[in-house]
Amino acid sequence: MIFNPRAGKVIRTGGGLIERAGEILKQQGHKVTVAPTTGPRVAGVIAREHIAQGADLIVVAGGDGTINEAAEGMVGSNVPLAILPGGTANVLAMEMKLGGNLERAAKRLPELKPRRISVGHLTCDGGRVSRHFLLMAGIGLDAHVVYKVHAGLKAKTGKFAYWVAGWSLLGRKLPEFDVEIAGNRRRSSFALLSKVRNYGGDFEIARSVTLMDDQFEVVLFEGASSTAYVKYFAGMALNKLEGMSGVTVIRADDIRIGEPSDRSAYIQIDGELAGRLPAEFKIVRNALTVLVPDTYGK
């Protein structure tokens, strides 16, 4: 069981939450090794090392960023990944209807079924960044929000820090970039490449995709002014994004995005800053086994 000792829920409980989750897993018959991360990108190393030593299940108690890092070390392996929500947004847990309660999710572990899924892959920064992602990649506006989030405020207030960062961009000009899909190009200031419907733990932008799909649902937003996103946000809240002027929704498994002409545009994957444009995104099929509720994706 991999966990981030700096995660808000872990800090607030003094580690008691992880201890209780470990006890629940032991009661289910598991022999549990608890492995705290010690810094960025460590979760993947821990997962890889324990798989090599014979682990037959990797449980990640943390947020989407820690889950992403662990999954990076598991791509290509047949060992299943199980997740227990312990982060700020817990998009993956909400997507699978596991809820936000870590102990309750641990108790449900025996109900879950192993399913083989595809994952996304990002290459950017001239090839220096090469990473997989389970949930989504966001390019432009939302990645800039992730870039602007104050770490201290996030630790204290959770999602509120993202709202503060987002509203600070209101009225500002956004970098635009060309998104190339199947030889066609579209100008955008925010591109979402998603394998899940849940966004941020509370909303849906992509509406017809699941982890079981072998394509991204790509949602492109036009407009250099951030004020246009007031309209887009209303459309998202009312489930009327598709068909809205300035919004394009398509399916794809290979996307290339060029560098903006005037300034940098950031990329986030699974809620964590990953790099800058230009970039290439692809689907990697049959990449990872995840434990999911039997009803998910049906």
The per-residue pLDDT for range 201-219, each reduced to its tens digit, is 667 889 899 999 999 999 9
Q: What is the pTM of this model?
A: 0.89
Beta bridge pairs of residue 272: 269
Those residues whose C-beta lies under 8 Å from the C-beta of residue 30, and which sit 6 or more positions away, are: 57
- 268-279, pLDDT tens digit by residue? 999 888 999 999
Domain 2-111 has CATH 3.40.50.720: no
The stretch 241-250 carries a mean pLDDT of 89
Say how far apart CA 170 and CA 124 lie, in whole Å. 27
Third-level CATH fold of 120-284? Tumour Suppressor Smad4 (2.60.200)
- Please name which of 101, 72, 74 lies closest in space to residue 9, comparing C-alpha atoms: 101
What are residue 39's phi and psi, to 5 degrees? 170, 180
- 10-69, pLDDT tens digit by residue? 766 667 889 999 999 999 999 999 999 998 889 999 999 999 999 999 999 988 999 999
- 137-189, pLDDT tens digit by residue? 999 888 877 655 545 545 554 553 444 344 455 556 888 999 999 999 999 99
Domain definitions of the chain by residue range: 2-111, 120-284
- 12-22, pLDDT tens digit by residue? 666 788 999 99
